[in-house]
Structure 1
Amino acid sequence: MKASKSGRPRRSHTLGACRTCRRRHVKCDQKRPVCRTCRTLGVPCEGFTSEVRWIRDDGGSPEPEDHNGTRRHMYTEQSRLSMSTSLGSSLVSGSVSASLAEIDLRTRDSDRAPVGDIVVGPFAVLDFAPDAPPEMQKQPQGDGAEAEAEDPRSPPQNAPSHTVNPPETPLQPLPYINDSPSHIDDFLHWSDILGLSPEQPGFFQPSMADLDIYFGADPQSEAAINAFGVVDDVVGLQSNMAMMTPPRSAIEMASTFLDAAALADAPSLFKHFNETVVPQMMIMPLGEKTPWRILNLAAAMATYNDLTILGSQSISHARLANLYGLLACAASHLASNSRQTVASSSQHWEQAAHQMFEQAKDHMQKSLKYETREPKRAKYKDQLMAICCLIEYTVISGQHQHARSFMVNAELILRMRGLLKQRISQKARLLHHVYTWLRLVGESTYVLHDYNPSNSFIEALDVNFQRHRLDVAPRAEEPEPRLDDFLRLEAHDADSDLNINEPKDKQTGLHDIHLQDSRSFSDTLYKQIYGIPETWLSLVSQTTRLANAMETFRIAQRSGRNTSLAAWETLHRRSVRLENLICCCELSPTRTDPSKPHGHMLRALNAALVIFFYRRIRRVHPAIMAAHVDTAIASLAEFTSSLPPGQSTGPGAAWPAFIAGCEALTAPRRDSIARWLENAISTCGPAGFRAARDIMVELWQRQDEHLHTNRNDPMPTWIDFVREKQIWPLFC
């Protein structure tokens, strides 16, 4: 009787064994370069043979043991070299980046015919044909005809609707800057890729950053100055064997090389951010523990290690946005710091900062769209620290056109995710404090609102000042929290929010992100982070909010709208109480050592707060505030002279210098504030100091002309100037 099929003996050998195991007819585990079977038996392992052998063009025959599976090249080496050269020179400037930019511009060309092809690249493989009109679509497109343009990791379009939960609250779109081929760095050419040979060592392996740069090389050295590239998404590095495998297309290959080039300067930028940028971002020298080092820098370096050393492919867009945003801050600071950067390096860092910012902005957009909710939800702290880093980049670079969108999206993230948590961690609170500083100080100089009153504003104004009870803390079950535009003014019981002696409860203190309530909170962290009391920031917030409400009310009165007299009386009563608090805060002695920088800066901030109140609320003549201007100027000069020499500390805050300098009418006062700003510009990179100087110089000219020619109209102020120019000076 024949044995059944199941009773047959199983094979005892495997394919792909080493030469030694094949000769000895034993099972090989195929571990390379030396199998463990040979290592256990103590015999030398003779290695493995390749499955495919290429026959060289010199006519030599393969070894006898490798005669199976040999292949011959279809073309000679000279033919292949000629073909690669021809393909590389036939493209736009021979550049990968220029070809990609050309494709991008052609797809956005509104004058292009609705039906047609866009064919760019070697062998015309990049075919970008637009979708046909509905009447021409007789059959569905085949597989591979459509590409996901938003996110390569997003689910397919035919997936069930419950697999992806987009945010119900509409997100404000981040601004986008179109690039042209003239702005693309042509450092990577098609000929560089098409001319590579698989026989060259390190083929398809991205270059790693030199570890010497990581441990303290000069950012301006020639080894640290490399080109940056812009890619759509970051592809993690593979293992050594995987990197020896050619990518599936030239575009994927170019993306790999561009990623490696984009992060080549990362170690030196990390060092510059830690040693120079962070101290100058703090308005007072407070030591080493800052949120930027504890959170942003640590997270960015961890992301860089995962991306380059560990080769991880599961990095969220929020973490990548924080990485590229931090590198953009360091590169922008290097580009604007003329004392430490030569002209050629300055141009390199400026281009690098722009490209890094585009990377960070793109990843932040994808994170807001895909990672705010399940299933690909990113960590809350990653999203908030990334968008705060982007806000800081706009402050350093002076790109105010992006700051508004970032701040609104930061508040959206905070309200949708952070304030709804049952327990707010210490790291999350640090990020909340950073956001509050950026938002409140930035909002104080934002006067580009539409102050024309609407019907809803008049109704809300009357209702708010008539009711007597209002819940301050946000409701946890609120599905779509309302974003704050600093144009509405909430009412409280007998204006108790201005009672500075009454303490806040813990829930109110944690959820009052814009400090509408000026009562003291014992668990605040502003002194530890910025060296200022929370009361000062609260008074800035309430002054800004009250000034916006009063400006809207004045416009409503001039336009003949039906306004409430009780509402105006309440606004006036609030301004009187706020004036008393600000003046008492300015007159109260500081508890810090007067010989240290902290005391001088606090006096400058308090004096500038008084000037800010009388400019935005009372609208008085600048001559009335001369004494407060002198106090602010003298305190800033004493702060600079008391800074420890030889340390990389910032020149202080530009906000008090701007607020006080715009009210200076005499030449000595103007010269003093101008010298302080020039000294700050020469030692610091942020664009806020330059913006303050430029605005004040032109404003002083207008004020002088007004004093000599026209004394009937109101004196020109910085508020009128920035509204006319449609700019937003950022001093946070």
Structure 2
Amino acid sequence: MSRIFITGATGYIGGDVLFALTQAFRNSNISALVRSESRASQLTDKFPSVTPVIGDLDSTAKITSEASEADVILHLASSNHLASATAVAQGLTESKRQKPVWIQISGASLLSGPDITANAYGEPRSQEFNDLQGISEIRSIITSSPKRAVDNLLLKLSATNPHVRTAIIYGPLIYGRGRGPVNQRSIQLPDLAKSTIQHGHGLQVGRGLSCWSNVHVSDIAQLVLKLTQEALSNSQNLSIWNENGIYFAENGKMPFGEISQRVASFAAEQGFIKDSTVRGIDADAADKLTAHGAVLWGTNVQYTAARARELLGWQPQGPSLEEEIPRAVREEASQLNSKLMLQRNRTLTGCGTCRSRHVKCDESRPECQKCQQQGLTCLGYERQLIWAKDALRDCPQDPDRVFRRPLFSTEEQERMTRMTVDSLGRQSATAALTKLDGEHGRADSRWEQDPFQGPFGILRLSPSATSPGGHDASQPDRAESSQAEWDFLWPSLDSAPTIAEDNHLFDGLYDITEDVEDVPRADLSLEVDPMLDNLEVLLPDPLGIISDELVGQQTPLQISLIPNPSLALSRSKYIPSQAPELLRYFKENIISLSFPLKNCRKCPWQAIHLPTAMSTYAELSIQQTASHTRLSLFYSLLAASCLHMLSRNPNAVDLNTSSKGYKEIAKQHLELALNEEVLGPRRAKYKELLMAVLSMVMLSIFHGENSNAQAFLVDAEYLIRIRGLPKPHKSLKVRSLHHVYTYIRIMAESTLDEEIDLSLQKSDEVGHNDIHLEVMGQWRDTLYPDIYGVPESLMTLLSQTIRIANERELLHRSATVDTNVLQDLEKRASLLEQYILSWEPPSCPHPSLINHTAIESSEESENHTTQLLMRAMHQALILFYNRRVPNISALILQDTVRKCLDFLRRSDNARADSVSNDTAILWPGFVAACEALDPDLQRGLLDWLVTTGQRTSLSSFSVAAKTAQMVWDTRDQAKDYTLSWFDVLKHERCPIIAT
């Protein structure tokens, strides 16, 4: 029985190929590499005859073992994963099979190199390839491309192993719905359709004249089947395999501009967009819409699949691209529909029929036109009041559905509002209530006059209406009062969630425990301090005013202080009496603690903070307890509301005290949460805990406590590293929180002056955790001198240079730049330049660098070598700073290049006389070589790179030498000496890590 081993079986192409294999080779033993048990379950559910092999592309031992036992290996998971390809090759060399075959999938972007090099995205190119007549030209392109390491491995394999046969398939624009078990979606066409619908118009890169050949995914699968059949038939046709085994697959071609127009036109016809015009975008914009969008939509890949047609009898049978476009657009619109539904403007005033059908009503009177067009009976707009009496609760409902709708029209509501305002006259609502309260409290008051002040009044009861215990019967029951405070929540429950992809914005109000796996059940047996039973007697209310009055009040307000934070830290049943008002104020007036996110539907303060605070209020009301994390969110929201009120009424001095008090309670709860609820059995939900930390960061910033804000940012980073980054799937809420953290962190680091100070001493905790060398200062336990022979101070300066350069680039990309941020950045850059230029190597080498067993002369020689290497690194750092930050012309920096080369040569000479190991650092030589303009300097540095590479047998030195030569050639052609190696590498898309 033949054996077939396939990778990528849960992917788009591999899944479709597996479907075809199971239909065509029912008697073969098919095994598939899958990365997890869950993927294996999905695979076997659809293809029971397939044997799953658990592992990923880095499981080289398993891949080698499976490849050595297979007649045919279909490596369809990746076109550039060299480790897995090498494992396949190793398995084939060990194979006992007579003529094993390796079929590899690759990408046709191989042919788009000229467009990328010329930056000619969206432009036409007439060159068309033929895999039969032009096989030698295609083979030459493959062998000359260093990125095609896997393809070259296949071409060379048969030369050393004649019994192995290989074939490579280069897929073009592949479209169509796959038939695999998991991923059934392509990339180029679906992403174009998705972006078109999201933007409301068509999109094309540049002029849209670039063109790719295209083929249906099922036709790719058929080509793989044809080759598999040839493999199992032991075909000896040399024109099919090995150096001739290069296959294209196509069913025509179409320029991307035409594809975009067809997509936009169909989307407009179906009502998915309103504008069918196609607008051009640049390469950067395309890359933001989809990964490598500039290449996938803006380059040219045109070829004829002659080899498969003539030698294998392959013919494409799948639908054409023209036929596929409508299906792809519909599918993408369907995928986006759930998000769009949340954004539709449905009202509570539609007719009963439209509301039952969940469609938008045109609200025509007396019957809506939509019902008439559909031939449906319009149920009208009649208001129906249903009284929830006990006797009727168990009765069957009326067959006509009752829909919630406003009791009063907008005009009526406005009229009643004006009546309420007019009834107050010139007095404020607070003054009216105070007057009522004062008159009612007078013992001699008989209320002969009308007991009303504006819209407010007092219900007069007979003096005999007292309870047996002597208490006033008119005193509202505490439970009823508490229930009244909930009234503000119900309108929110009636409205649709405001955050896209989140249908559970207010779930916490009904399901207090929420996710059982993430949050432990509340400890209802928690003992409460007996003093807390009388908190409302011991401590005054935190806030005794209404938010409406805070906005308009002009006189100083007397506000009671908040409870003692130390008492509030017990998870007690105490709830600030003004909590409902502050929660509502936050929802209606603040929305977000980050102003740029105020109108963003993905804002975590809308999606997480407010719903969690409201849910915590429910927990405190019902269960009388909550976790420290949720209490921190609750009190931080109250603090934010008080602070916002204070900004509108600066005379209300006690608001500042209340805000600080609530913030202090939130801070102490957060500190307890970070100690108790990050890990372990009581751990809190990750997004709530991170939300609490970020809220404290913002509150600290608002109160001018920048040191506290920095400390909380460090806490946030710690939390992200141990709880956030390990998550295999990051939800929209989690990703939004990570983006908020990154934004705040970058903004903080770009505006705080104290960060650049080399004289500071790092603590052990900071030194151990500063993995990016973000903190300036000295650390006594650094290992950089031990490992690289370079002081940490030099590496820290390099790290700071990179960060400032990146921040400058981001600022310059922005359409609008904050001048204050730019000034602060320039100040930091100037200070950093001063540190770099004044840097000197340590006067005493690191103790571990001294070989106490060696002779004195050897010690001195080794230390001298290290000092020279430091000097070379320092000169390279000066070059790097001047090119990356101020971008000084390379003409001015030639003396620095000469110094760097001199120190490198002297370091090599000193090393030759020492007893140290033969090591070298590439980075200074690479930077200096790239900035060298003088021919003598270029030859000297090129010679150093080549010689050092030969001496150390490290290929990275030769790569660096070739890169430097490419930089020289590009700079000479452009005659632009401000063009840096960084610009050239970014343009050529050939990054290098010069370690």
Which structure is larger by alpha-carbon Rg, 1 or 2? 2
Do Structure 1 and Structure 2 share a fold, with TM-score over 0.5? no
Give TM-score, length-normalised by structure 1: 0.39
Give TM-score, length-normalised by structure 2: 0.30
Q: Which has more strand, going by share of residues?
A: 2
Considering Cα pairs closer than 8 Å and 6+ residues apart, tell me whether 1 or 2 has the greater RCO.
1
